[in-house]
Amino acid sequence: MPFNPPQVGTFPPDDNLYRVESNISTASDSTISLSYLEDYGILSHFPSQAERPALKTIEANLFSEQSDTDPPITPTPVDFPEKPAVVEEKQGFIEFRVVNNDNSRESNIILTGLKCIFQKQLPKMPKDYIARLVYDKTHLSIAIVKQPLEVVGGITYRPFNSRRFAEIVFCAISSDQQVKGYGAHLMAHLKDYVKATSPIMYFLTYADNYAIGYFKKQGFTKEITLEKSIWMGYIKDYEGGTIMQCSMLPKIRYLQAPRMLQKQKEAVMAKIRAVSKSHIVHPPPAQWKNGVVEIDPMSIPAIKESGWSPSMDELSRQPRHGPNYNQLLHLLNDMQNHTAAWPFAQPVNKDEVPDYYEVIKEPMDLSTMEERLQNDLYPRPEDFIKDAKLIFDNCRRYNNETTPYAKSANKLEKFMWQQIKNIPEWSVSGYILTILRSSDTLTWLMQHLAE
């Protein structure tokens, strides 16, 4: 049966156009195999193939046929409250409309509503620039519409069908509608619509510091896997923005992804309950009948049966990261979100700057610092500061002091020391100055903190 894509401005009338064939029968929701999860990309986040044998072992044990002696498997419904946006769409309070500038009255009303929202929510963007792109006939928009034609949010994008990617140009929700899940539901609609009506499988966008978190939640990443020859020169490069990519999975219907994950969770929980007693609730010890008194945990049969030991308790109480982790994480996030951080977000590309690594022997960047922080390689604040200082020193060594790069390094370094100055535990009069006393940074630091 040939596939006839819907016209711009409508969604496919038959919901099955979005569906894909599944290797899971409807009568066997509780027997989902890990190969199914792999096919649907759920296992794609495991870092290496080395982990797969362990997963296959789990598959063999967890999803093996049930014997007559095994306890019965009872599926446990998992509570999954739907977002207000989903409920409102089902009840007809909102609808999602795909429009472009086709000169019709209704399209013009919706596009004008989108233009006003983008201009209000993106104040740093020139208003005439927003209007020009929203009304551009090469761009499409998907809008959240309440009756009568009240626009509360939307996305404007430009498709490049021959290159199989689309650029998300603007994305915004009205400020008084941002707690209902509209943003996530809007992106799911966009993904399903684009997949069903075009060969596009990738999105690219430039996100400002406030939008990076949203796009990460929607499956976007800072790692660009598309060849530059595919997109370079086709999308607008925004200074200070971070380019992000989303690779869509062909077998996933994104509007049904939450429900699919719920079914998988129900299946896994049902199998776990067949071999686990963690759901059994035991009464309190008899010794506590007249009040709580100290008792030996091993005297409680259920604790003893669970395999618990005092060493396990001690291990579980140990902090996951060092004592300075949270403060360093906040400091690094503040630095990454600073307007002057854009030259230092990622390692310098040797293809774009061929001689950089001949001049700079110890390169450093904020993404590498983030990785090192997650791996607990900064046990002391001074270790973190030395790497940050390496970024700024490298920049000033390679670039002339009049360049935007050197100026950004000075701004970001000054910002870092101001943030450190506001942390009482890291007072400038304390040990931070002690470890920097022999450094050339000391004079620079005192000069700039005094400003």
Tell me the domain boundaries of the chain: 1-50+70-280, 325-449
pLDDT in tens, 201-250: 999 999 987 888 899 999 999 999 999 999 999 998 887 788 999 999 99
pLDDT at 7: 46
CATH of domain 1-50+70-280: 3.40.630.30
Gyration radius of the chain over CA positions? 28
Q: Give me the mean pLDDT over the 145-167 stretch.
A: 94
Mean pLDDT over 361-373 rounds to 94
CA atoms within 13 A on the CB side of 327: 19
- Per-residue tokens: 45: 């986040």
Judged by DSSP in three states, 421 sits in: helix
> Shortest CA distance to 112 belongs to which of 96, 124, 101?
101
How far is Cα 43 from Cα 249, in angstroms, rounded to an integer?
12
For 309-336, letters b (16+ CB in 10 Å) and e give eeeeeeeeeeeeeeebbebbeebbeebb
Q: In what order do the strands lie in the sheet with 140-146?
A: 94-99, 140-146, 150-160, 165-173, 202-207, 242-247
pLDDT of amino acid 312? 83
pLDDT digits (tens, 9 = 90+) for 257-305: 988 988 898 899 888 888 887 778 888 888 888 888 888 888 888 888 8
Domain 325-449, what fold? Histone Acetyltransferase; Chain A (1.20.920)
One fold for both 1-50+70-280 and 325-449?
no
Give the model's pLDDT for residue 446: 53
pLDDT of residue 158 exceeding 80 = yes
What's the rounded Cα separation, in Å, for the pair 111 and 169? Answer: 14
Least confident range from 10-24, 106-120, 282-296: namely 10-24
Catalytic residues: 167
DSSP labels, 115-130: HHHHHHH-TTS-HHHH
